[in-house]
Amino acid sequence: MSPIASRSVHDQSYEDCIFHIREFVLSDGTVLEDFDVAYRLHGNPKNPLIAVSGGVSSHRGITEYAGSYKPWWKELVGYDKALNTADYCILGWDYLGNDGDTFGPKDGAWPDHCQVSTRDQARLLKAIIDHIGYREVYAMVGASYGAMVNLAFGDCFPHLIQHLISISGAHKSHAMGYAYRYLQNELLDLSEHASLKELPGIQKRLAELSRGLAMTTYRTSNEFEERFSGRDEVIAYLNHHGREFASGRSLTSRRLLAKSILTHDINVDPQRFKHSVIGFEQDTLVPPHLLSELACKTRGELYLFDSPYGHDSFLKESVLLSRLFKTLLSESL
């Protein structure tokens, strides 16, 4: 384990680490060789392990910055918080193929035309857990794409998990959710292949439109109605997020993980571990009926809530999730 950064504040210590993998075979048969994997441990590594995985834009910096990337769940993870770093060791990690410090398209040796599946991400997470030295995971908490990865992990390594908590993510996409994501991905594909020489600016604009479309699926129509007073505000909001997206992370990485979502399909069965399924009534990407199907298949407990934030509720409803996490984790003791 090679530390690259560390910090300690009371019991909220963390350490960034890198380890090297000699060979890793993806589900599509592509062989990745000699690459680095980045993760962060929050809290004491002698405590029970909770692995936390978020959306496709998430990274190892759950409570603090990771490079230039902002913390994404600091309201829920930390000293004396729901995922308490005084009681647990919290694992955050960078997805394979993303723009963090784990191997991805930003690195020159990334192979063309390969595909990373949620099972591949789950196997990489298993490699991290093995490297740290844990023989089991007290709880796996996954939201959105992270819930998909954790379900793949549960299918591949059920004997390692005590409690799986799935938030706003399921075993497959439903038809409308697939349609939304397919259109977003098609726009990203066009952006990737557009000729800057022949069509100046079109590559960036297609990426912006892809993100704009995505933003309409993350929130609810009621939230938009209350938030914006007119059409100009709506357009400004979508264009702002589109420009931020297009000028930020690698579009190739975005396409790679978007396709990982499109191909996600896990045959879930009743498992030996406890499974808690959390969702929101207004989520159009992962609607209640899909989560109900998931909970039924795994014999898990289903928790559904109302929220104006739709799919983004896992990022916005920190008070609600904090209370629920404390209850669920105390039941696992």
Domain coordinates in residue numbering, the chain: 2-172+266-332, 175-262
pLDDT of residue 151: 97
206-226 confidence digits (pLDDT tens): 888 888 888 888 888 889 999
Confidence of residue 289 (pLDDT cuts 50, 70, 90): very high
Architecture label for domain 175-262: Orthogonal Bundle (1.10)
pLDDT of residue 113: 86
Span 25-41, mean pLDDT?
97
pLDDT of residue 123: 98
The conformation of residue 20, written as its DSSP 8-state character, comes to E
In the chain the beta strands, taken as DSSP E runs, fall at 2-7, 14-25, 31-42, 49-53, 77-78, 83-84, 89-93, 139-143, 163-167, 274-280, 301-305
Judged by DSSP in three states, 119 sits in helix
- pLDDT exceeding 70 applies to what percent of the chain? 93
Specify the CATH number of the domain 2-172+266-332. 3.40.50.1820
2-172+266-332 and 175-262, same CATH topology: no
Nearest-10 Cα torsion for 185, 187, 192, 194:
160
Burial of 247 (0-12, 13-18, 19+ CB in 10 A): exposed
Tell me how far apart the alpha carbons of residues 49 and 62 are, in angstroms, rounded to a whole number: 15
In 73-218 the beta strands, taken as DSSP E runs, fall at 77-78, 83-84, 89-93, 139-143, 163-167
Confidence of residue 242 (pLDDT cuts 50, 70, 90): confident
3-36 burial, b if ≥16 CB within 10 A, otherwise e?
eeeeeeeebbbbbbbeeebeebebeeeeebeebe
In the predicted model, is pLDDT for residue 241 greater than 90?
Answer: no
pLDDT of residue 283: 95
pLDDT of residue 8: 47
Terminal C-alpha separation, the chain: 30
Token pair recorded at residue 130: 């093995």
92-151 confidence digits (pLDDT tens): 999 999 989 999 988 878 998 899 999 999 999 999 999 999 999 999 999 999 999 999
Claim: this prediction has a pTM higher than 0.85:
yes
